[in-house]
Amino acid sequence: MPKTITLKSITALCLLATAPMLSACQSTCTGDARYDNYWCARGNLRNGTYAAQTNQLQMIAYDRQAELEAARSGGADDARIASLEAEVKALQQQIQAMM
């Protein structure tokens, strides 16, 4: 006796087949504009996610710059100053890339 395929079983099979594709689309929302898909990027632009990230990074860069100036004037060792200089430079590059 052959089994009949019902509309319900076909629908369930189609949903199972498309589940990986749907989850792949959802997983592309990283919060990083370089990797987010169009829909995620659009939402993040609208809700200010990217602007907030840029502002936060600018505040960190400002703090590190102030720390660097204090290290220079306070006679910190050369390794600490070089480390802070490298960090400030990297932060400035990230900020430029985000803008």
pLDDT tens, the chain, 99 aa long: 555 666 665 666 555 665 555 444 455 788 888 888 899 989 999 999 889 988 999 999 999 999 999 999 998 999 999 999 999 999 999 888 877
Tell me, what's the pLDDT at 89?
95
Residue whose C-alpha is closest to residue 70's, from 90, 53, 88, 57: 88
Q: So what's the pLDDT on residue 8? A: 64
Q: Which long-range contacts (CB under 8 A, 24 or more apart) does 59-67 make?
A: 60/91, 61/88, 61/91, 61/92, 61/95, 64/88, 64/91
For residue 56, what pLDDT is reported? 92
Amino acid at position 15, single letter: L
pLDDT of residue 55: 92
